[in-house]
Amino acid sequence: MQIHVVKLDDSIWKIAQIYGVSSQQIIDANKLTDPGRIVVGQVLVIPTIGTVHTVHPGESLWSISRNYGVSVNDIVQRNHIQNPDSIPVGLRLYIPKPRLTIETNAYIDPRMTGTRTGEVVDEAGEHLTYLAVFIYAVNRDGTLTPVEDQAPLNAASNHKVVPILVIGNFEAGTFSTELAATILSNDSIQDRIITEALNVMAAKGYRVLDFDFEYLGRENRERYNNFLRKASQRVRAAGYNISAALAPKLNADQVGVLYEGHDYPAVGQIVDFIFFMTYEWGWSGGPPMAVSPINQVGRVMEYAISAVPKNKIMMGIPQYGYDWTLPYVRGGTWARSITPQQAVQLAIKYNVSIQYDPTSQAPFFTYADEQGRNHTVWFEDARSIQAKFNLVKELGIRGFFFWVLRGGFPQNWLLLEDNFAVRKRL
């Protein structure tokens, strides 16, 4: 894949001529609904031709893979080969470049995707190791409030994706410090939570239990560690893995109720892997800025690697942006969450250029709506995603995860396939 930033006077036809591909290939790859309308600064991924090998007599996929230094599985996937043991002489094969093998996860919230949940998982399934279903909320008596998870579980199974059950102190649509304190101060409630979670896992086929307990505060730090220790023993005894989601800390002593309850070194010793939530610098209730600025993500990862083994680290990557109505007033109207495609459609609708911030490595633009209100939009595009993929390669960590699957970002999956080979556990 090549990344092309639209310039003044560009057209899909002109771009296709530059790269030697058809206009339809560009339209299909980027899922353009109105190819005649593009804006300056819009990013397109271009499916350019790489190395092509023509199968000769006596060759096999194994011998071809050895010659080019890529795996048989990569060649099979890229060329959609149905029978790898029988390839005809004269077949033209696209040979992908060698890719780093990593693990991937995506969180999905069925309440957000509704009836499209299975469809959204189907779009991403071949690119995922895990799928985390958000969230079985923990109640004050230790029971769990479920979500409608059968559709995503069915889709995950179809794509050999390991399902992850997510539990957390989620109450009335938000994370509750007071609820966490109630749970973490009572051993019998904790025991019931673990029992309930294990029962759900056995009944529905979940293979990993993910603890997403947020806004714990310093007073619950060691209590949470002990809860995870207790849970890890029972979860592993039942034949499952255990994970945790942690806030993006820059150092061990970072102040704030979101950060102080998360102990990187301790949790890193207890669980099998960790989802570091490296996003929400720009958030719906805060001032306009990049959701996941690469400079800040790098700082979090630097501390994470100093505290947790690399083979347990999963870096977070957002699949969304925000549209802020200006002027920003603290406590005022919250920004609207949008997909990357929705962001580009807004820029096209209001005929404004998309800019790119080199420090955060994220795209943004401003526009005025029909009521004369000014807006600022920050989101993700192919450039910002490639920057994050490059960071993953540099760090040598276990992999990364996406928050949250909603559709509306086709370039993400094309770039993922171009950069990595996804490890499947099923």
pLDDT digits (tens, 9 = 90+) for 98-142: 789 999 999 999 999 999 999 999 999 999 999 999 999 999 999
The tens digit of pLDDT for each residue in 361-408 reads 999 999 999 999 999 999 999 999 999 999 999 999 999 999 999 999
Backbone torsions φ then ψ of 390, nearest 5 degrees: -65, -40
Q: Residue 61 above 70 pLDDT?
A: yes
Q: Which two tokens stand for residue 127?
A: 């690119």
Is 214 a known active-site residue?
Answer: yes
Cα separation, 203 vs 3, in Å, equals: 45
- Reported for 180-188, long-range contacts at CB under 8 A and 24+ positions apart, including other chains, are 180/213, 180/215, 180/216, 180/217, 180/220, 180/224, 180/261, 181/217, 181/219, 181/220, 182/140, 183/138, 183/140, 183/142, 183/227, 184/216, 184/220, 184/223, 184/224, 184/227, 185/223, 188/142
pTM summary value? 0.91
Cβ contact 209:167 at 8 Å: yes
**Confidence at residue 102, expressed as pLDDT on a 0 to 100 scale:** 97
Alpha helix positions (H), 205-292: 221-237, 264-270
Interstrand relation of 170-171 and 174-175 (parallel, antiparallel or unpaired)? antiparallel
Name the DSSP class of 100. Answer: E
Tell me which of 59, 123, 171, 214 is the catalytic residue: 214
Q: What percent of the chain has pLDDT over 70?
A: 100
**391 membership: H or E segment, kind and range:** helix 382-395
- Higher pLDDT pick, 226 / 78: 226
Q: How many C-beta atoms lie closer than 10 Å to residue 215's C-beta? A: 20
Kindly tell me the sign of the dihedral angle through the C-alpha atoms of 337, 341, 345, 351.
positive
Q: Residue 49 above 80 pLDDT?
A: no
The tens digit of pLDDT for each residue in 206-237 reads 999 999 999 999 999 999 999 999 999 999 99
Burial class of residue 14, CB neighbours in 10 A (0-12, 13-18, 19+): exposed
Summarize the confidence of residues 274-286 as an average pLDDT. Answer: 98
Name the DSSP class of 396. Answer: T
DSSP string, 131-152: EEEEEEEEPTTS-EE----HHH
Q: What domains, with CATH codes, occur in the chain?
A: 2-46 (3.10.350.10), 51-100 (3.10.350.10), 101-319+385-422 (3.20.20.80)
Cβ contact 34:27 at 8 Å: no
- Higher pLDDT pick, 340 / 74: 340
Q: How many CA atoms lie within 13 A of 29 on its CB side?
A: 25
Summary mean pLDDT of the chain? 96
**Confidence at residue 52, expressed as pLDDT on a 0 to 100 scale:** 76
* 50 — pLDDT class (breaks 50, 70, 90): low
Q: Which two tokens stand for residue 48?
A: 């350019």
- Minimum mean pLDDT range among 22-36, 90-104, 188-202, 329-343: 90-104
- Higher pLDDT pick, 214 / 86: 214
Q: Is the peptide bond before 96 cis (omega within 30 degrees of 0)?
A: no
The tens digit of pLDDT for each residue in 23-42 reads 999 999 999 999 999 999 99
**Confidence at residue 54, expressed as pLDDT on a 0 to 100 scale:** 84
Q: Residue 51 above 90 pLDDT?
A: no
Cα separation, 300 vs 276, in Å, equals: 9
Dihedral angle of Cα 184, 185, 186, 190, to the nearest 10 degrees: 10
